[in-house]
């Protein structure tokens, strides 16, 4: 998947708040939108090379959106929505083997009080899939979340309830970087999410992980990796 039609190089300077980054592009300092409001530890470091999507609009406060950060010798995506786009493309092409076979699927499906990323249909039976984007990696282990997530825990709790009713339920972690070899809950940052994920595994909710191949201009799903809770 291409990152966009117009991608420019920049240098990260600072992050005034969760949603904005001060960057330097061609010697000029500008503000860019940060699509990932998480803490992004180890990534948002001054003088790091970044790649940005340039998409001017009269309705936007910034003309740029931060897409990639250079970390050591690899690019890391900090655009969470890419994870859903990649999964949708993978489902369309039937390339996500860990999710099994299905007859059809829908995106952004409401179930009860929540909206899940995908719903797969096989022989009339539903499986709900919630996608979680992972950007933090420590010693090849992807950690989720990188900031407390009440919303993420709620999704897991609701998947447990669905599973207990006999409905299929899956959490799919997508690490948008190539150096991830496994996924684990970040218990130090959000122990409640980790506890919910362990209960989900006990209840039979499917827990799967995939890492990505990221270049300076594209991102694609790469390999399935284990989830170790």
- Read off the CATH number of the domain in which 58 is found: 2.40.50.580
- Domain co-membership, 41 together with 152: no
Terminal-residue alpha carbon distance, the chain: 30
pLDDT band at residue 108 under the 50/70/90 scheme = very high
145, 151, 156, 160: CA torsion to nearest 10: 160
- Domain co-membership, 179 together with 145: yes
Instruction: Report if pTM > 0.85.
Output: yes
- Domain co-membership, 62 together with 96: no
Which of 72, 92, 121 is the last residue before a domain boundary? 72
Task: Note the pLDDT tens digit of each residue in 73-100.
Answer: 999 999 999 999 999 999 999 999 999 9
2 lies in a domain?
no
Cα–Cα distance for residue pair 36/106, rounded to 1 Å: 24
- Domain co-membership, 216 together with 140: yes
Cα–Cα distance for residue pair 225/42, rounded to 1 Å: 22
Cα–Cα distance for residue pair 135/66, rounded to 1 Å: 14
| pLDDT value, residue 34 | 96
* Residue 17 domain boundaries: 7-72
Closest CA to 4 of 28, 33, 29: 33
Which of 26, 48, 72 is the last residue before a domain boundary? 72
159 lies in a domain?
yes
Pair 172, 210: CB distance under 8 Å? yes
- Domain co-membership, 194 together with 213: yes
| For residue 145, cis peptide bond before it (omega within 30 degrees of 0) | yes
Task: Note the pLDDT tens digit of each residue in 64-80.
Answer: 999 999 999 999 999 99
| pLDDT value, residue 56 | 85
pLDDT band at residue 163 under the 50/70/90 scheme = very high
- Domain co-membership, 130 together with 152: yes
- Read off the CATH number of the domain in which 86 is found: 3.40.1350.60
Q: Give the total number of structural domains in the chain.
A: 2
Query: Do the strands 20-25 and 141-144 form a parallel or antiparallel pair, or are they unpaired?
Result: unpaired
């Amino acid at each position: 998947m291409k990152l966009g039609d117009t991608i420019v190089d920049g240098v990260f300077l600072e992050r005034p708040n969760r949603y904005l980054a001060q960057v330097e592009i061609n010697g000029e300092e500008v503000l860019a939108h940060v699509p990932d409001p998480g803490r992004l530890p180890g990534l948002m470091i001054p003088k790091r090379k970044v790649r940005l999507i340039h998409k001017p609009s009269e309705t936007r406060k910034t003309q740029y959106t931060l897409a990639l950060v250079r970390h050591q010798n690899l690019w890391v995506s900090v655009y969470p929505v890419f994870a859903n786009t990649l999964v949708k493309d993978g489902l369309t092409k039937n390339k996500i083997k860990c999710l099994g076979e299905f007859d059809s699927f829908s995106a952004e499906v409401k179930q009860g009080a929540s909206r899940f990323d995908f719903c797969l249909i096989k022989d009339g039976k539903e499986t709900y899939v919630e996608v979680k984007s992972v950007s933090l990696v420590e010693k090849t282990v992807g950690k989720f979340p990188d900031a407390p997530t009440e919303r993420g825990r709620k999704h897991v709790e609701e998947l447990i309830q669905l599973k207990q009713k006999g409905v299929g339920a899956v959490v799919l972690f997508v690490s948008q970087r190539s150096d991830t070899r496994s996924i684990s809950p970040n218990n130090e940052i959000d122990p409640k999410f980790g506890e919910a994920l362990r209960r989900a595994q006990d209840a039979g909710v499917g827990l799967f992980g995939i890492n990505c191949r990221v270049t300076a201009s594209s991102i694609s799903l790469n390999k399935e990796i284990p989830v170790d809770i």
